Chains A and B, each alone.
Chain A
């Protein structure tokens, strides 16, 4: 068990940090965009240039032969700087393309194609085992019917990867040039290519989502670290009643609790990346990490705003944007409730959690 990173990983992290600092959104007075960010082609090609987009995929399918650990290092830096991208989404799509042996993966890793998964559905809780989108057809002729929404980055995507119900289970399809409207994608007898059939669809999707989850956990870790650092700095410098805020013990004790949450989340996010690199199908660890990071993110996010006071509420100050992102991450690829429910249903499978074997 070792949490330290090697020289090559340090170099990757430094490159990602440099990229993130150049690409960090500038907040200030005026009309600052809030909420989900649109796709930024320049940031995307910068990510492709440092090799971030192909990190976890084997070289023989067009990847760079690194692992989820390297992905996490990059995602943490993006999260810390508040750079919002389709990184986790593209890795999920990439993972499915890799499983399918699709040539498109090379265009994903060099940044020329933006492929994202279309997962969420209107009026349905998150699920990776069912889909109300259905597929009919055979061989090279498949047609999809139904709706996926919201599908982040669908408007900029060259393709979407869609889990759909077929006879025999869940299959994974690729749709080129999706028609995005209202934040989602509607399929109405839309032509699609079968990537992975119903025998392996659910398992491949689960592995891909696990990679997405550890990526998001790492991004959340970065955002939590960014928000915590800003909050501590604010307590040191901001004066009220003639003294710095840190003169008030109730505030410093709450900052200490934020730090505890941060370090627990850090251990967990790093471990989850190692675990998924070792065994991409380890959904239990991914779910535990999502729960810990979700709860830490909620705690740190809420306290960051509270300890900043009114300034934390403003669009011109970065901390609120980090909290916005944490709020979104907790609800992406399964929320805390869904992951807890899934963990709760498998309690009898083990006597206790064993991380050392």
Chain B
């Protein structure tokens, strides 16, 4: 066992810290740190700065911009990026569709899509969930029917995050409605958002923001070679993608950043007996969160090191479950620190953003496989409890 970073890893950490705090513009990082709705131009600028330094898609194959990093280095990279409030590479590009195309796409698809995906020249969104297929994703009903050398797509996707900015959508579509199991007969299709028959409708959320959308497909014609891998094998690719999604899914660096912010905020709020940071109840709550975040980060390091490449590791469910809980706990703490000042949403200072952000992040235990689904993965996949 070794507690300290090796010299090599410590140098790597310093290199990341230097890059993120000097090469990504400070004004952009400040806007990101403040929270609220992400600015797509900032996200593009950030990802392109990272990509220029080969830091946008480190976990991709080397020929498409990947880095031969250990899991520890990957953690350090994410941690330093989040600590410096650098907008991360768009997850739909970097963590989802990119690795799927790299692993299962044709040579032509790799050459066509991977460079612009890494550089955010193509903005991807995810077409998985449907009104009747959320956690039970395999129940999806959007169809794709072969007509000559095109697929004709009909149906509806929902919860399509940032779809209003997207150039392309990667969608799971049913290509064999007669398959014996509902997981079979699903394919992974790449669809241009500007195609005739695609309609995007915004869904407004309780924080007032426009983050997710419904996407409708009405006889959308998609060239046959936009299907990734083999027809009817889309479920396998989706599982691969969701496994990737859970790597780094505990945003430890962001949680720590927000908790450090919370301490600053608390130190600035006066009470009858000093500042809120000196209030015994609040201070104990922060101390407890620091201990719990430490336990999470240590578990990220311990579990990630054992992560089986390419396969969803059920242990990563621990990180999703606990990471989302602690993220929510810290945002709840901040809205509590804001107190009555948080009732006014009209300002864009931390007090004004506290309540909408708290409400927005109730999503964290729902998306990416709800926490109930993660518990199911742990109980059946790790503990062998199968009813």
Which residues of A approach B to under 8 Å, CB–CB? 1-5, 9, 69, 232, 235-236, 243-244, 246-249, 252-253, 255-257, 259-260, 263-268, 270-271, 273-275, 277-278, 287-289, 291-292, 340-341, 343-345, 347-348, 351-353, 355-357
Contacts and interface: CB of A to CB of B under 8 A. Distances in A.
A252 B376 contact: yes
Given A246-B386, A252-B376, A291-B291, A3 B286 contact: no
Q: How large is the interface on B (under 10, 10 to 19, 20 to 34, 35 or more residues)?
A: 35 or more
B341 interface: no
A66 to B, nearest CB: 12
Most chain B C-beta atoms within 10 Å of own C-beta, residue among A248, A259, A274, A357: A259
Given A3-B301, A252-B385, A344 B286 contact: yes
Interface in B334-387: 372, 374-376, 378-380, 382-387
A290 to B, nearest CB: 9
Nearest to B299: A267
Contacts of A244: 387
Given A288-B290, A340-B288, A355 B260 contact: no
Given A344-B283, A352-B256, A278 B292 contact: no
Given A256-B383, A264-B292, 17 more contacts: A1-B2, A1-B72, A252-B383, A252-B387, A256-B376, A256-B379, A260-B322, A263-B318, A264-B318, A264-B322, A266-B299, A267-B295, A270-B1, A291-B287, A292-B291, A351-B263, A357-B5
A3 B375 contact: no
Given A3-B302, A292-B291, A352 B260 contact: yes
Contacts of B294: 268, 271, 288, 292, 353, 355
B3 interface: yes
Interface in B255-278: 256-257, 259-260, 263, 267, 277
A28 B12 CA distance: 56
Contacts of B386: 246
Contacts of A260: 318, 321-322, 378
Contacts, number: 160
A256 B384 CA distance: 11
Contacts of A265: 295
Contacts of A268: 291, 294-295, 298
B375 A347 contact: no
- Closest 6 A/B residue pairs (Cβ): A344-B283, A343-B287, A267-B298, A247-B387, A256-B375, A274-B3
Most chain A C-beta atoms within 10 Å of own C-beta, residue among B3, B259, B375, B386: B3
Contact of B79 (A248, A343, A356): A356
A271 B301 CA distance: 11
B1 A2 contact: yes
A247 B257 CA distance: 41
